[in-house]
Structure 1
Amino acid sequence: MAGCAAKTVYEIFQSMEYGPTAAPSAATAQAWLEHHSRSLGLFIDGAFVSPAGRRSCPLTDPKGSVVCSIVCSEDEDVSRCSSSAVSGYKSWSSLTCSQRSRVLLRLVSVLGLHGQCVSELCDLCGAACSPTALVRLLQFYSSWAQLRDALLCDWTPVGVVVVVTSDDSSLYSLMLKVLPALAMGNSVIAVPGRSAAPPALLLAQLLAAGGLPAGALNVLTGSDVTLGAKVAQDPNASFVTYSGNQQDGAALCKATAGMGLPVSVSLCIGPVCPFIIFESADMDSAVDEVVQAAFKKRKEVHWVLCVQESVSESVTARLKLRIAGLKCVSLRSDADRVLVDAAVEEAQQQGATLVQSCPPPPGSQYPPTLLCGAAPSSPFVVSPPPGPLLPVVTFRSNAEAVVMGNHSPHGHAASIWTEDLTLALETAHRCPSSFFCSGGSPFSSFHSHFLCHSQ
């Protein structure tokens, strides 16, 4: 007779254990990289270009393995790309609004077919981005492409738009600048950061295959932000927009000063967002969402967990159980590891209790970490370092929860967990954060990036 080792449905419901998770695969992305011999060129005039004699820059993952190499563009490449963008602008802007909208909608289906490859490549390069979020972004701006003449009747395309992002920006931040420019009929020269360069090249190839005219979207790669300054100084550039850290943004503005060229800067200020759990919340669902939001590879924001004091022990116990099975998260660089170690040491000196899934290994890997019993005024709560760190603070009353929710100088989003709808609406009304999600964590939204408040 043969026995069955699998648990019955009754036993599963009695134990409520989490099932096994499938190991992530990157086979599709690896095949795409192998097709290009792991040496990615520039994307100019609707095709990949590999100029001879160019210096290449290797791109490594957090473990130190080489993912691929990208070409460092030179002045000749910038001129060629600029000419292609001018030609692409003439073709793209000559289409009617409905024609441009149909092209962008066609790209939605193309991205849906190849979303797995985009997601895997983003994970390999450390520029994690959800294909679902990109699809929503395309759908949103394809609608604006259709309505441009009706709602923006006095507006016209400006011409060639240069989009520059820093090395620590995600692919989503890049496309948040590229797609609205395309929707309005402009051509785009994208200069992504190193981590977002391979997925940006893949997206450019997919968009061209979906019907985007040659030259409407070009991608130049390089080793640092000086390439963005070179492209911005080209006489054919009509507008420059930047997203990323403050240092690179200041360098770009300095390089374009006095040229009479409009420059739009969107700084990634690393907002700290509250995750508020009231005693009336569904604890298991709230803890699951905390783990998903706080310990993923590439966070858009830093989270601070605010738990009502009466249920703090229950939430902490559930979190300990959940993070015990989590793997270490890859940091972007060794410099980030230094910041994380310093923050953890400071937290312990101030009396915080450390909860980790495993001892921290050497290198750029760090385990998911809870900093329980933290004071709201602690530096690692107000300005947490990059990495899988989650400060946990407690509150007693609903009014105190609102005060903690407003503690961040840069409010980006808030997640409120309670089964009391009146309490959720009252808390959301009294917190000036721009984007709320009750019973979930805020996703990448084309609205939330423009609706922040600052100190």
Structure 2
Amino acid sequence: MATLERFHNIVDGGKATAASGRWFPSYNPFTGEAWAEIPHGDATDVDRAVIAADRAFTGGDWPKLTASARGKLLHRFADLVLSEAERLARIETRDNGKLFAEMSGQLRYIPEWFHYFGGLADKIEGAVLPMDKPNMFAFTRREPLGVVAAITPWNSPLLLLAWKLAPALAAGNTVVIKPSEFASASTLAFAELFAKAGFPKGVVNTVTGYGSEIGQSLTEHPLIAKIAFTGGDATGAQVGAAATRHLKHVTLELGGKSPNIVFADARLDNAVKGAVAGIFAASGQTCIAGSRLLVERSIHDDFVDRLLALARQAKLGDPAEAETQVGPITTEAQLKKVLSYIDIAKAEGAKLMLGGKRPEVPHLAQGWFVEPTIFAGVDNRMRIAREEVFGPVLSIIPFSDEDEAVSIANDNAYGLAAGVWTENARRALRMAERIRAGTVWINTYRAVSYLAPFGGMKRSGLGRESGMRAIDEYLQTKSVWMNLAEDFPNPFVLR
């Protein structure tokens, strides 16, 4: 048996194993075999990491830094990430099965978050207040919250971590990172770079292990001031409840069942590509997946034919190879879940048009693959149209007019993203206004930027990541009053 590569946590500026000495395996989704070992942490490891972060926040070099100096550290870290982009991308591809072509692009783009928020670090300003009370001078200060717990999923660990880390650190917080137990390796390699960039010890720490064993210890720890979570809505609800119970700040970026809406006047070839990008890119393992394709009835059959022709060409294979377009499902449990939803759709009466099974190809047999799958004849009341599958499974739903498209799009518990394909600018703007989603793409799909706020409505979450206002999620406001009068007035009445 091949020796497994070992990754270590970063705690208080140094590498750390689990206090228990235990490890757990991480699996390569392309081969189905273990390739790495990750520290198997417990509540003791959580406490160690949180205490280190709190110590760094309340003393030491980090709080002594000026805001400009914090920003320069973030710029230095961004440059270091860029220099390590290919290595980190290969680790992430091996660990979660995402295409190297996409991961390498993400890793070269991730530094922009640290440059952007590094530039904002010394733009955090308070204000002098125009007071209505004589002889009073008052102003506000905007201050960091304290220790932030950043909890990330397995589908895009480093990108979604950057969305949390960059504003949290720019605001002056310290951080404890809990990556998914299914994809921890790239996060641990990433965290090593903070010491190399010159960050004081304890500012960024990691703790790895199973959520069922350490999740509660982390979210309920008394020294944690904020929880920034990305993941499923059921777990997010539990995290939100814990945050409320313990009066912690919280940001939740949760699931989606996003509508991708094609009108008859759209450029159909572009819309077909957009539909494929929305659901089969990243093997459908993305919270913004356009898993509900709404097609105007007058073009429905023609559009489906074009879509099938393009989807049939999708090349499944080794995610490390440049020509691969669809990689494996990240975990074996998720593979089983995706296949179960395909069975549910068939039982509900949806018409299977493409895929619907594991590929019958010898060199893919050991991996956790599902063929790109398309169902037509879907009713929005079916489970396949209402619940998040998180896999390469598309439901096609016809609509007659704009009002019906809006009604179907909004008739769902989620509200993370949506796509609209039309050449009518007025319709595009109307749809953007009427759809209940945190992001609406018009004539494009699956685009993100450090400049654009991202987050959901309804069960898709609370708060926003990216964009200038994201830093506000990691700050609190303090009011400071100063009496300028020589004498103190009556002490028995409210000033």
Q: TM-score, normalised by structure 1?
A: 0.80
Q: Helix, strand or coil: the match of 1:433?
A: coil
Number of the residue aligned with 2:27: 60
From 132, 145, 149, the counterpart of 2:125: 149
Following TM superposition, by how much is the alpha carbon of 1:452 offset from its aligned partner in structure 2, in angstroms?
A: 1.7
Return 350-359 or 175-184, whichever deviates more.
350-359
1:76-225 matches, cutoff 5 A: 77-89=45-57, 90=59, 91-126=61-96, 128=98, 130-131=106-107, 134-150=110-126, 153-165=140-152, 170-225=157-212
Question: Residue type matched to 1:38 in 2?
Answer: E
Q: Helix, strand or coil: the match of 2:338?
A: helix
Q: Could you say which structure has the greater relative contact order, defined with CA pairs below 8 angstroms and 6 or more residues apart?
A: 2
Following TM superposition, by how much is the alpha carbon of 1:380 offset from its aligned partner in structure 2, in angstroms?
A: 0.6
Following TM superposition, by how much is the alpha carbon of 1:224 offset from its aligned partner in structure 2, in angstroms?
A: 2.9
Deviations 1:345-390 (A, max 9, x none): 3433444332225853477321001101212222211224221100
Return 327-336 or 418-427, whichever deviates more.
327-336
From 1, 8, 12, the counterpart of 1:45: 12
Structure 2 CA distance for partners of 1:442 and 1:349, relative to 1, 3 Å = same
Deviations 1:182-237 (A, max 9, x none): 12111111122213421211221223322322221011111334324334565644
Following TM superposition, by how much is the alpha carbon of 1:411 offset from its aligned partner in structure 2, in angstroms?
A: 1.4
Number of the residue aligned with 1:316: 304
From 335, 351, 360, the counterpart of 1:353: 351
Q: Helix, strand or coil: the match of 1:330?
A: coil
Following TM superposition, by how much is the alpha carbon of 1:251 offset from its aligned partner in structure 2, in angstroms?
A: 6.0
Question: Residue type matched to 1:345 in 2?
Answer: D
Return 158-167 or 61-70, whichever deviates more.
158-167
Query: Share of identical aligned residues, percent?
Result: 24
Q: Helix, strand or coil: the match of 2:266?
A: coil
Following TM superposition, by how much is the alpha carbon of 1:441 offset from its aligned partner in structure 2, in angstroms?
A: 0.6
Instruction: Please list every run of 5 or more consecutive structure 1 residues that lacks an aligned counterpart in the other structure.
Output: 1-33
Deviations 1:151-190 (A, max 9, x none): 7952222332233346678444433333322121111111
1:253–1:263 contact (8 Å) kept in structure 2: no
From 368, 389, 392, the counterpart of 2:396: 392
Following TM superposition, by how much is the alpha carbon of 1:54 offset from its aligned partner in structure 2, in angstroms?
A: 0.6
Question: Residue type matched to 1:285 in 2?
Answer: N
Within the alignment, does 1:450 sit opposite 2:420 as a pair?
Answer: no
1:249-398 matches, cutoff 5 A: 260=246, 262=248, 264=250, 266=252, 268=254, 270-297=255-282, 298-303=285-290, 304-326=292-314, 327=316, 329-356=327-354, 360-361=358-359, 364-398=368-402
Following TM superposition, by how much is the alpha carbon of 1:432 offset from its aligned partner in structure 2, in angstroms?
A: 2.8
- Distance in 2 (CA, whole Å) between partners of 1:256 and 1:300 is 22
- Distance in 2 (CA, whole Å) between partners of 1:338 and 1:40 is 28
Structure 2 CA distance for partners of 1:251 and 1:346, relative to 1, 3 Å = closer
Return 398-407 or 122-131, whichever deviates more.
122-131
Q: Helix, strand or coil: the match of 1:154?
A: strand
- Distance in 1 (CA, whole Å) between partners of 2:234 and 2:436 is 28
Return 235-244 or 105-114, whichever deviates more.
235-244
- Distance in 1 (CA, whole Å) between partners of 2:387 and 2:28 is 26
1:324–1:358 contact (8 Å) kept in structure 2: no
Following TM superposition, by how much is the alpha carbon of 1:52 offset from its aligned partner in structure 2, in angstroms?
A: 8.0
- Distance in 1 (CA, whole Å) between partners of 2:225 and 2:407 is 45
Deviations 1:408-428 (A, max 9, x none): 222111111122222212222
- Distance in 1 (CA, whole Å) between partners of 2:211 and 2:66 is 37
- Distance in 2 (CA, whole Å) between partners of 1:225 and 1:289 is 37
Following TM superposition, by how much is the alpha carbon of 1:138 offset from its aligned partner in structure 2, in angstroms?
A: 2.3
- Distance in 2 (CA, whole Å) between partners of 1:445 and 1:388 is 24
Instruction: Please list every run of 5 or more consecutive structure 2 residues that lacks an aligned counterpart in the other structure.
Output: 128-138, 317-325, 360-364, 461-495
Q: Helix, strand or coil: the match of 1:175?
A: helix
From 215, 220, 244, the counterpart of 2:231: 244
- Distance in 2 (CA, whole Å) between partners of 1:83 and 1:339 is 38
Name the Cα RMSD after superposition: 3.2
Within the alignment, does 1:226 sit opposite 2:213 as a pair?
Answer: yes
- Distance in 2 (CA, whole Å) between partners of 1:224 and 1:98 is 36
Q: Number of aligned residue pairs: give it.
A: 418
2:157–2:186 contact (8 Å) kept in structure 1: no
Structure 2 CA distance for partners of 1:394 and 1:265, relative to 1, 3 Å = same
From 406, 412, 415, the counterpart of 1:411: 415
Q: Helix, strand or coil: the match of 1:142?
A: helix
Deviations 1:11-69 (A, max 9, x none): xxxxxxxxxxxxxxxxxxxxxxx9xx611111123332346861100011234211311
Q: Helix, strand or coil: the match of 1:414?
A: strand
Q: Helix, strand or coil: the match of 2:380?
A: coil
Following TM superposition, by how much is the alpha carbon of 1:74 offset from its aligned partner in structure 2, in angstroms?
A: 4.7
Q: Helix, strand or coil: the match of 1:111?
A: helix
Structure 2 CA distance for partners of 1:50 and 1:375, relative to 1, 3 Å = closer
Deviations 1:395-439 (A, max 9, x none): 222332222222222211111112222221222222232212111
- Distance in 2 (CA, whole Å) between partners of 1:454 and 1:234 is 25
Question: Residue type matched to 2:328 in 1?
Answer: S
Q: Helix, strand or coil: the match of 2:210?
A: coil
